[in-house]
Amino acid sequence: MEDYVLLKGKITGKWYDLDKTAHYHIMAETMGVEYDIAVNVGSVVREWGSSEFKSSELLVYHDESYNNKILDKIVEKEYGVHVVKPDFALDYVKMNLFNHKKMVLMPTLDTKETYLIEILEKYVVRSMEEGIYDIYVYGMLYENGLGIHDVHMNQGSKGRYRHRDRERSDGAIFFHNRRDLSWTAVFLAFKNQSFKK
């Protein structure tokens, strides 16, 4: 089973893989190592007998003035990649992290108008230009140890993904402005995932 981790680092770059896997990639450096952070901006599937890809539906919650007690625990972490312990794990269902009803449905994948890409671009570009942000990412560590994926809800799944469900192992992204100490949070889930306890 992949390690559930928290990365704290500084953004160094970005790239896109939108046609086949619908991911926005953030490059972040920490402790002298650069990591690839793969963020779902949709979930593309190929229809049977067709060469066309379509995007399934993604739910997004975004808060530019985020405040939650979990921040007090992660801001104290050193730069690096930390295996997540129960005291600072995320659970969309059992913890009061945000109002699920305020998640925005992002039904299509359009690089020019995608709500989530606009949010990520804003803070990734600002981070690279101004150098005043730290990024914190919860997700699963790549097998090669050089990246993080599943940066979204990791429970309440149906069908072929149900076997991968893990409680207290949900993903998220936080941008921390070290100048004014503000936090921006991004939480992701797929429409077919359930928030029921």
Q: Check: CB of residue 23 under 8 Å from CB of residue 38.
A: yes
In this structure, what DSSP letter does residue 74 have?
H
pLDDT tens profile 56-108: 578 999 999 999 999 999 999 999 999 999 999 999 999 999 999 999 887 55
pLDDT of residue 111: 47
DSSP states of 75-144: TTSPSEEEEPPGGG---TTTS-SS-GGGPEEE-S--TTT-HHHHHHHHHHHHHHHH--EEEEEEEEEPTT
Q: Check: CB of residue 79 under 8 Å from CB of residue 8.
A: yes
pLDDT tens profile 7-59: 999 999 999 887 667 889 999 999 999 999 999 887 655 554 544 445 557 89
